[in-house]
Structure 1
Amino acid sequence: MMNCVIVDDEPLAREGLASYVRELDFLALAGVCENPLELLPLIDKQPIDLIFLDIQMPKMNGIEFLKIMQKPPMVVITTAYPSYALEGFQLNVLDYLLKPITFERFFKASSKARDYYRLLTKPAGEQQSNVADEDYCFIKCGNKYEKIPFADILYVEGMQNYVNIYTLKGKFMTILSLRGLEENLNSQLFIRVHKSYIVSINKIESIEGNEIFIQNHRIPISRNYRQQIIDEVVSKKLWENTKRKNV
């Protein structure tokens, strides 16, 4: 279980997030603060694994707090202002939630934090022993079962009652829902880019306009997913002129 803290100057926002936390059995609410200054004593008293952090607050905003804090816990930004997204991800926040925050979106961010927490806290020997068990799956294609290494997957296309899995070795069709398949893929390696497409992040060669290019494939990006792709895929690895000023 992860200890989390909510930092927000709006009482209704704090109550809403607290009610969401109580719905998840892998989160324990260790404290609720009106501003980052109240958070510091909490961190000194007990281990905090995750912070749900607002940006616009009196005394000190969330971005300023992250800039001065050394080795912060995992952070999920909760704000009404989308303009801070790039700066937030440059400060290594785990996710960026825009108010009003739905439970579905909160659950997705919290699950991402849980997966990352498990990765950080898993013993090294256990990590090595499980690698072979987690790098492939089997799917049923007609009358046989095909072994699909996750590292070979380029992208997945969802059709009405089945999915096409495009890999380095070719295309495989199986009767699965795209949503069900997505739930079994590592969210750090794969990302939904369209209601009908999931792509391997490592296989993306370029993004132009509303299309992703993987080898000779062109995968559409829907408007609803474009900003998430920029935030979670591009921004984390983006080299800009501003980063070269001190060179």
Structure 2
Amino acid sequence: MINCVIVDDEPLAREGLANYVREVDFLNLSGVCENPLELLPLIDKQVADLVFLDIQMPKMNGIEFLKILQKPPMVIITTAYPSYALEGFQLNVLDYLLKPVTFERFFKAAAKAKDYQKLLTGDSSKQAEDYFFIKCGSKYEKILFDDILYIEGMQNYVSIYTTRGKYITMLSLKSLEEKLPKASFIRAHKSFLAAISKIDGIEGGELFISNSRIPISRNYRDQVITKVVSKRLWDKK
């Protein structure tokens, strides 16, 4: 988990970044400041691993503040002024975000901070992620593997049914199947993938998941029975 602090004199900018931070599971918002001087106590308390720092602020601008810090935390500049980019990178900032900042660009910068933190802590092990993001219209939605019930494929898009609702995105069922954990999902039909742990029962040519019935095609029936039922079947033997 990365503890991050937002430093910006504009209330709307602070709130926008704070909302972005809340959407990223490896970020924790540990502070919000209106100017760099308010940040100093948080650095002393070691609750600022990463700072989203504006440049043009009263009392002291972000660049001036960085110059006086002997051991600065990771810093991502957030500003409406592109002219400070070179000076910012000379001060070893991780990234330089121009306002208005999109979530896609924000997430890319946050991921860079995550990778850099692993280098600093010596943690280079590749941990399996338990979620992914998809684009639904103009919004990026976070999908947890454990929340998925089943997925239905159409021509050029898929519908992902989860415990939280239904999400539609422009992906093929095949490409999604290749990215999902193979031990946790099974193809039951040319148009359906099912989460194995969410299957409540099988009868005839159907899977029962929550309140839904998923068809099992003849080509996939033996595979479904073997993978879902056989190893956990209690009978008279």
Counterparts of 1:65 and 1:106 in 2: how far apart (Å)? Answer: 22
Once the two structures are TM-superposed, the CA of residue 71 in structure 1 deviates from its matched residue by 1.1
TM-superposed CA distance for 1:122, in Å, is 2.1
| Cα distance in 2 for residues equivalent to 1:43 and 1:94 | 17
Q: Which runs of 4+ in 1 moved over 6 A?
A: none
Aligned to 1:60: 60
Report what 2:164 is aligned to. Answer: none
Paired letter, 1:95: D
Query: Residue 12 of structure 1: CA displacement?
Result: 0.1
* More contact order relative to length (CA 8 Å, sep ≥ 6): 1
Matched, 1:83 2:88: no
* Equivalent in the alignment of 1:121: 121
For the residues of structure 1 that align with 2:71 and 2:46, how far apart are their CA atoms? 15
Residues 111-190 of structure 1 aligned to structure 2 (within 5 Å):
111-122=111-122
CA distance in 1, matches of 2:68, 2:82: 22
Structure 1: where are the runs of 5+ without partners? 132-179, 181-247
CA shift digits 1:157-205 (9 cap, x unpaired):
xxxxxxxxxxxxxxxxxxxxxxx9xxxxxxxxxxxxxxxxxxxxxxxxx
> 2:69 matched to which residue of 1?
69
Give the number of aligned pairs.
127
Per-residue CA shift, 1:88-110, capped at 9, x if unaligned? 00000000000000000000000
Q: Who is 1:22 aligned against? A: 22
- The whole-number CA distance in structure 2 between the counterparts of 1:74 and 1:38 is 17
Q: Which residue in 2 is equivalent to 1:92?
A: 92
> For 1:101-158, what per-residue CA distance to the aligned partner results, in whole angstroms no more than 9, with x for missing partners?
00000000000000110111125xxx5xx69xxxxxxxxxxxxxxxxxxxxxxxxxxx
What CA RMSD, in Å, does the superposition of the two structures yield over aligned residues? 1.6
What displacement does 1:45 show?
Answer: 2.0
Q: Distance in 2 between matches of 1:30 and 1:97?
A: 20
| CA distance in 2: counterparts of 1:44 and 1:73, whole angstroms | 11
Partners of 1:74 and 1:42 in 2: CA distance: 13
List runs of 5+ in structure 2 lacking aligned partners: 127-174, 176-237
- CA separation in 2, counterparts of 1:88 and 1:43? 19
Instruction: Letter of the 1:66 partner, please give it.
Output: L
Task: Give distance in 1, aligned partners of 2:71 and 2:93.
Answer: 12
Cα distance in 1 between the residues matched to 2:39 and 2:93: 17
Equivalences for 1:152-231 in 2 at 5 Å?
A: none
Match status 1:103 vs 2:103: yes
Larger Rg: 2
* In structure 1, C-alpha distance between the alignment counterparts of 2:7 and 2:24, rounded to whole Å: 18
Identity of aligned residues (%): 83
Distance 1:18 1:37 in 2: 19
CA distance in 2, matches of 1:67, 1:119: 24
Offset at 1:43?
1.3
Change (3 A) 1:112 1:78: same
Match of 2:36 in 1: 36
Alpha carbons 2:4, 2:47 under 8 Å: kept:
no
CA distance in 1, matches of 2:120, 2:47: 15
So what's the TM-score if we normalise by structure 2?
0.52
Letter in 2 for 1:64: E
Counterpart in 2 of 1:201? none
Q: Which has the higher helix share?
A: 1
Report the CA distance between 1:47 and its aligned residue: 3.2
In the TM superposition, residue 18 of structure 1 has moved relative to its aligned partner by 0.1
